[in-house]
Structure 1
Amino acid sequence: MTERNLPPLEQGLTAAAVQQRLAAGLHNEPLPPLTRSVQQIFRDNLLTLFNLINVLLGALVFMTGSYKNLLFLFVVIMNTAIGIFQEIRAKRQVDKLTILSAAKMTVIRDGKKVSVDQADLVQDDLISVTRGDQIPVDVLVRETTGLEVDESQITGESEPIIKGNGDELISGSVLLGGHGIVQATVVGHGSYIKQLARSAKSDHRTPSQLLTIINRIIKILTFTIIPLGAGLFISTLMRGTGQNRAILGTVAAMVGMIPEGLVLLTSVALAAGAFTLGRHQVLVRELPAIEALARVDILCLDKTGTITSGDLKFERIEPWADVAAGAVQTTLAKLVSAINDDNETAQAIQSGLVKPAVTPDEVMPFSSGRKWSGASFDGQAYVLGAPEFIFREVSPALQQRIQQLAQQGFRVLVLAKVAKLTTPKPMTPEALGLVLITDELRPNAQATFGFFAKQDVALKVISGDNPVTVASIAKRAGIAGADQLIDMSQVGTEPDYDQLVATYNVFGRVTPQQKAGLIKAYQTAGHTVAMTGDGVNDLLAMRQSDCSIAMASGSEATKSLADFVLLDSNFDAMIQVLNEGRRVINNIERVAALYLIKTMYSVALTVIFIFMSHSYPFEPIQLTPISSLMVGIPTFFLALQPDYTRITSRFMKQVMEIAVPAAIAVVGYIMVIDLLGAEFNLNFATTSTLSVLLTGIISLNALLIAARPLNRFKIGLVALMGTLFVMAFLFAGKVFSLVNLLDWHLALFYLPLILSAYPVFILLQNGLGRRVLSKIRWK
């Protein structure tokens, strides 16, 4: 690298130099957006296999000249339009929040420190970096007293690496400790960040259970619809039925098999959930994460920023071993000044002491894994940090005093003189004093944690601080099981994580690797785990968790990794996040069965009528009142209802208890109607009208059961749908190809069938549905 590529540290690039590099294309590029483009949204919603099938079916109906039977296409178009609208609305909300939470970088230009977007970085920019930053471009270290770097995203090695002046850093690296000035060497497409953007979260997420089931259903239907439709069409023609009747019957069967509304409802509900959370200042980075959080039954908390406010205050220093108080305080002030860290603890101590000018000989910045920092100056080395990680064995007297102070809620650090700065522990430490830090409880902590307890979400505290201090604060916050605590620095190199998570609720002195181990143990025990964090010490645990939540005030690395970012750093917003997730998933699971009823009976009827002597019992237009009034319209209203109960994976249960009995009842009644038609010489218009009537009645019963627990709104909704369904027969019979039911001869057929529909459905539900469920559970 030539001299002209090394801008002065105090000056940085000039405005003219920045413009030259921008003109030459030597600038960085923004990370890929979190959301799809409007063009992609239109394409992915319009160009689907089911839409293609619907268009082809519409073309066949058009050939028959029965244009009113094209009404099903209007429903498809409306469904697609609603899906596009909701996703674009959610996209705009997420994009707006993304801009607000976008990481800024501090660069030196024209002798001043300025904040710029990552996309505005240019080659040779001097960037000021500190603990918690994620390097956005490839850089060269120009000035530092020591940087501790996590390059695991690139190398796969979890051990931190120390970098000094002249060393190179690859984009995607995370600073675990220290600060300094680095120079951008490779920006834009040439840097590793393009390949590494969000790589930490690309593979570790558990896929959405609900979407997996729905996609599996759609995949099966994809290989079922076309051959069944072809078989029905050919068999109908072979029976001598006219081509138009064969086309209309086949189209009705295939349209009935497509649960297009189910896919739409799921995507719309998730998009609407992201939009709602955005209004509460919560950025949702992945829509399936809403479902993951809804299923969470264990929430792991870091103490700082969640239980406590994170505003640390230096209380006092307590001399140890007859060392003069003034000398200890002076040594502490020099050490903090020499290390020159900018983490919360260092800032709290600096604000309570004067900052003398010190030129250190060696510096070891604070590390979450090491849990201490140190420096050598004036011919002597000193360290500051957690006593368990400084001393090989803490003396009983010192341990007793630390415990006493921790029980009072103090965070206790040890200032020690050492022979040499070595890792993982310094050489021959000698305690000089105890540094006391206080951290206030968040104002609404008790109410927030009380809410989670009522929602069957177990709270676990995983912190790097003294377990006694953490337990004391957890108890004040009302977290259950706060007395069950353990010091993770005492569990050895290969702890039994399964036993630990089964026994304890508060974990102190936890290293980043141990945090990830604890999360994995909870998952092994069958739990869905969410992890909250704001610092680099939480990165490994957040990657391991099923769902991760970061504070906007936290490090850029944690924010780039998290599924949710609380933009105002208010943990109370988690109440809204959990509620919204549960509302979305509970409602989708409840109403999904209604969509699958039509799919199930359509598949069954298609198979049956391939071998029957009569035509398929429906025309496409006749399915419209059922699809819209018994499924489409009410499910969109039900999907917006509050339901914050714990997720219990009810999808298959709802299908077996509602969809299967209802589908069997529909098929059974249509077979009875077909027999009655043959016995009493009823024409197709009459038997198809009766089939529509009974199918609608059974679907109405299923809707009533799916809407439980009932309230005035739900009762009114079901009653309204039933009324509109009856009105469709009375006032729009010709539109939907339905005969007039106001005929007492016809009433002799349909009244007994209507009166028997509910008891038969309930009988099937209590018998068949529960028997199938018990077999599923037994398997």
Structure 2
Amino acid sequence: MVQQGGAAAVAAQDVRGLSSAEAARRLASGLGNDVPIRASRSLGQIVRANVFTRINAMVAVLFAVIAVIGPLQDGLFALVIVFNTLIGVIQELRAKRTLDALAIVNAAHPRVVRDNEVTEVSTQGVVLDDVLEFGQGEQAVVDGVVLSSAGLEVDESLLTGEADPVVKQPGDPILSGSFVVAGSGRFRATKVGRDAYAARLAEEAGRFGLVNSELRAGVNRILTFITWLLLPVGALLIYSQLYLGSQVTSDAAVTDGFINGPVPDALRGMVAALVSMVPEGLVLLISIAFAVGVVRLGRRQCLVQELPAIEGLARVDVVCTDKTGTLTENGMRLSRIHQLGDTHDFPVGEVLAALAAVDPRPNLSMLAIAEAYPQAPDWEPTSIAAFSSGRRWSGASFATPEGGRNWVLGAADVLAAPGSAVADQAEEIGATGLRVLLLAAAPERVSADAAPTVITPVALVVLEQRIRDDAAATLRYFADQDVEVKVVSGDNAVSVGAVAAELELPGAHDPVDARKLPTEAAAFADRVEEGTVFGRVSPEQKRSMVRGLRERGHTVAMTGDGVNDVLALKDSDIGVAMGSGSQAARSVAQLVLLDNRFATLPYVVAEGRRVIGNIERVANLFLTKTVYSMTMASVVGVLAVAYPFLPRHATLINAVTFGIPSFFLALAPNNERARPGFVKRTLRLAVPAGLISGFAAITTYLMVLEGARTPDLTDRTAVVVTLCATTLWVLLLVAKPYVWWKVVLVGAMAGLLLTALLTPAGRTFFALDVSDPAKLTTALVVAGVAATLITVVRIVDDWFFARDTAS
């Protein structure tokens, strides 16, 4: 049981932290941070979830009836329980292994002070009273109290909803889940494991599941509706079949190991009808499609932290992306120093080296400066203002041999007066795609509260980044797929526009300075929707942009890697973080690109579209089966005639027309962007196709039955032919657009059906008889008329859909 450390224990320890032996004793005593990396399901949970399902229970009850009366051929449908369980378990275990392996790579590695040295440990390796060190972009993994602070500013928005950074001084509390936006510091762990403030929230948020999925919710609504329909239709069928059986006076007899007679025959008809009504493979194939999607993305080093993200990707129509780390390489290089006016006597190199040396958590720009000027002078810092994305500048005051000096370094258009010669010169250089920083001297001591009001510009520091080789191809892909890309950056708008223009992004020649955007919400959203490239965007503005686009009906994916992206990542439909980005960004994103390549995103979007598009196709097939089965059962129940199929006939029809083809279609390529309204679109084809198929089968049945109460094998075979021919046609319509393998697939299914009809072994096993050409001709004619009607319905539906889309 994890306990809170007492005040005496905390006071007894200093900022140097624990020893390795003390940490080991605490860990052995259960005082560790025992929060799992992921809350993925165990093997037992996976097996139980795949075995004990509502559909498996229905099928098992129906199989029990056949097990009593026989023959076993009529119980083949029960194999779906075995296949559902095995395939579901295997695919989810594959997904679990992939996710858990990637999660370990992506896991936070907090830095603790042990034996007077700073060392990285796993999240679970932190113990009570540990001293942790963290800086910009890092997230607190446990609760604690601040011991030391160097300009430490913490964002607690993920916990409190308040986006303003909170300055932390020694003695202030630190909550797990908060992250550093500026400066650095050390804090002592006072609550660890499940006692920590955000532990339960983080555990729930990281669970691998199907929560908040429009697709899953739609399928559940459909299944609920089907379940309620099964009750009256099944009751009517049971009554009619048993009533029919009671009217026949012949006795039952045991033959070849199974029971013959009117009542057993009625029960077989009832089982055949109810088995066909159950969409037994739909839920399975949805799970398979999602699990295979997770595995495929994992092979591209993409960690799916929330499963519904795959579904959301299929609906994305706007991608908001930063410039640095996505369109350009992560690293930066100092290009040149441009000294200003009569300031050549200032020691620019020494100043830059000193600023880089005292920065507690240098960003990419400061790292490039430190690389160019590694030898820092021996100046004593008296005050430090750490860089933050909100301020866009940093600075420090030094005690030097010449006296006190105060320096600031930051965005030229933030520090320099608007319209000044320095600001104009910086913008002119930035228009070429370079990053420009202004180094300036200040007369007053540097403070993080506000930028100096009076400065002396000393030099322009010009940094360059290389554009990623694959950035242009990635942008072209999104353009081809009707996905709009908006570049949202904290850099100078002209500089960002220059990079975007080089990549031929539409609208890049008209970059927008976010500081000039309207403050009124509607006007702000209008301008964001119109624009393509935005510079000088604050973290709060990024979030407002994402919210505005979503309110306009867009599905927005946000990519980012820094603390300035966290708010927007959290509020987007799909947050995508770079693996090398800040821990805070990775923790709130639904997807993490561990290879840090923006070019991976097209594969991610394509995978989402494949999964959702194929699930719609599969749902069309299974619901068509359910509708025609209910139609046939209702008509047969009203007419009080024997059900035309035996259970083995239903197994044959389901296998060749829906079961086997749907497995291949669920895993096929599919680049069509998914749209809202899954249930409506699915039912638009499935209901009319199912009704027509069901009435076609009944029409053939009544025509060949010729007034009899019970059918012979030639009658049953004619109905099988009608239904198979009609539903194979539905399969052809659903499988569009056609490629060679789909034609082969439908041909192979027709071949399997012909094998069962034309071979002696097939006819014997499935109880078929093709000896009456007249009945077969009737079956094919009726099937032809039904296929024509289904095609007309589909053409009309496509026309109405195209008209609705255009309007």
Tell me which interval the TM-score lies in, with the shorter structure as reference length.
over 0.9
Shift of 1:578: 1.9
Give yes or no for the alignment of 1:404 onto 2:433: no
1:517 to 2:544 alignment: yes
Q: Equivalent residue of 2:148, what SS?
A: strand
Between 1:695-704 and 1:413-422, the stretch displaced more is 413-422
Q: Are the counterparts in 2 of residues 31 and 197 from structure 1 also a CA contact under 8 Å?
A: no
Q: Distance in 2 between matches of 1:508 and 1:676?
A: 74
Structure 2 CA distance for partners of 1:150 and 1:683, relative to 1, 3 Å:
same
1:2 partner SS: helix
The partner residue of 1:687 within 702, 715, 727 is 715
Paired position in structure 1 for 2:771: 742
Tell me the matched-pair count. 775
Q: Distance in 2 between matches of 1:74 and 1:288?
A: 30
For the 8 Å contact 1:317–1:329, the answer to whether it is kept is no
Does 2:445 align with 1:414?
Answer: no
1:371 maps to 2:392: yes
1:301 maps onto 2:316 in alignment? no
How many Å separate the matches in 2 of 1:481 and 1:609? 64
Distance 1:247 1:622, change over 3 A: same
Q: What does the per-residue CA deviation read over 1:554-613, in whole Å, with 9 as the maximum and x for residues that have no partner?
A: 011111111111112122222221222222222222232111111111222233333222
- Residue 785 of structure 2 is aligned to residue 759 of structure 1: no
Give the equivalent residue in structure 2 for 1:30.
35
Q: CA separation in 1, counterparts of 2:378 and 2:358?
A: 8
Pick one of 720, 729, 733 that aligns with 1:705: 733
Which of 81, 90, 108 lines up with 1:85 in the alignment? 90
Alpha carbons of structure 1 residues 756 and 153: separation in structure 2 relative to 1, 3 Å: closer
TM-score by length of 2: 0.90
Residue type of the partner of 1:629? V
Deviation, 1:245, is 3.2
- Say whether residues 1:433 and 2:447 are aligned partners: no
Letter in 2 for 1:25: G
CA distance in 2, matches of 1:652, 1:475: 42
Listed one character per residue, the Cα deviations across residues 627-661 of structure 1 (whole Å, up to 9, x for unaligned) are 11111111212223222233345855763564234
1:136-535 matches, within 5 Å, as 136-197=141-202, 207-239=212-244, 240=246, 242-324=262-344, 326-353=346-373, 354-378=375-399, 379-390=404-415, 393-418=417-442, 419=444, 421=447, 423-491=449-517, 493-494=519-520, 496-535=523-562
SS in 1 for 2:153: strand
Of 615, 622, 625, which residue of structure 2 is paired with 1:595?
622
Residue 658 of structure 2 corresponds to residue 631 of structure 1: yes
Identity rate of aligned residues, in percent? 38
Q: Distance in 1 between matches of 2:681 and 2:508?
A: 38
Post-superposition Cα deviations, 1:140-186, rounded to whole Å, max 9, x if no partner, equal 22223121101122222111001122322111111111122222222
- In structure 2, the CA distance between the partners of 1:317 and 1:664, relative to structure 1 (3 Å rule), is same
- 2:690 aligned with 1:663, yes or no? yes
Task: Give 1:465 shift.
Answer: 0.4
Larger CA deviation: 310-319 vs 95-104 = 310-319
Offset, 1:533: 0.6
> Contact 2:39/2:206 (CA < 8 Å) preserved in 1?
no
Give the direction of change, closer, same or farther, for the CA distance of 1:148–1:234 in structure 2 (3 Å limit): same
Write the distance in 1 (CA, Å) between the matches of 2:709 and 2:241. 19
* Rounded Cα–Cα distance in structure 1 between residues aligned with 2:676 and 2:87: 27
Match of 1:647 among 674, 692, 697: 674
Q: Which moved more, 1:239-248 or 1:538-547?
A: 239-248
Within 5 Å, which residues of 2 pair with 1:16-27? 16-27=21-32
- How far, CA to CA, are the matches of 1:776 and 1:317 in structure 2? 59
RMSD: 2.7
* Structure-2 change in CA distance of 1:691 and 1:24 (3 Å): same
**Letter aligned with residue 663 of structure 2:** F
Cα separation, 2, equivalents of 1:69 and 1:348? 74
Cα distance, 1:678–1:734 mapped onto 2, change above 3 Å: closer
- Cα–Cα, structure 1 residues 372 and 212, in superposed 2: closer, same or farther, change >3 Å? same
- C-alpha contact (below 8 Å) 1:131/1:175 kept by paired residues: yes
In the TM superposition, residue 517 of structure 1 has moved relative to its aligned partner by 0.8
Q: Distance in 1 between matches of 2:47 and 2:188?
A: 42
Encode CA deviations 1:489-534: one digit per residue, 9 max, x unaligned.
2336546322212321111000111001111122122211111111
Query: Given the superposition, is the C-alpha separation of residues 737 and 659 from structure 1 closer, same or farther in structure 2, using an over 3 Å criterion?
Result: same
**Alpha carbons of structure 1 residues 675 and 529: separation in structure 2 relative to 1, 3 Å:** same
Aligned residue runs from structure 1 range 42-57, under 5 A: 42-57=47-62
- What is the CA distance between 1:57 and its match in structure 2? 1.8
Which residue type is aligned with residue 710 of structure 1? Y
Per-residue deviation, 1:678: 4.5
- Residue deviations 1:91-126 (CA, integer Å, cap 9, x gap): 111111111222212222223332210101112222
- Quote how far apart the aligned CAs of 1:228 are: 2.5
> Contact conserved, 1:590 with 1:654, CA < 8 A, in 2?
no
Is 1:2 the counterpart of 2:8? The answer is yes
Tell me if the contact between 2:511 and 2:533 (Cα under 8 Å) persists in the aligned partners: yes
Q: Give the 3 Å change call, closer, same or farther, for CA 588–64 of structure 1 in structure 2.
A: same
Q: In 1, Cα distance between the equivalents of 2:362 and 2:12? A: 26
Q: How far is 1:274 from its partner?
A: 0.8
Query: Which segment is superposed worse, 408-417 or 332-341?
Result: 332-341
TM-score (norm 1): 0.93
C-alpha separation in 2, matches of 1:493 and 1:755: 63
Residue in structure 2 matched with residue 586 of structure 1 by the alignment: 613
Alpha-carbon contact 2:321-2:488 (below 8 Å) kept: yes
Deviates more, 1:738-747 or 1:42-51: 738-747
Q: Is the 1:338–1:359 contact (alpha carbons within 8 Å) kept by the matching residues of 2?
A: no
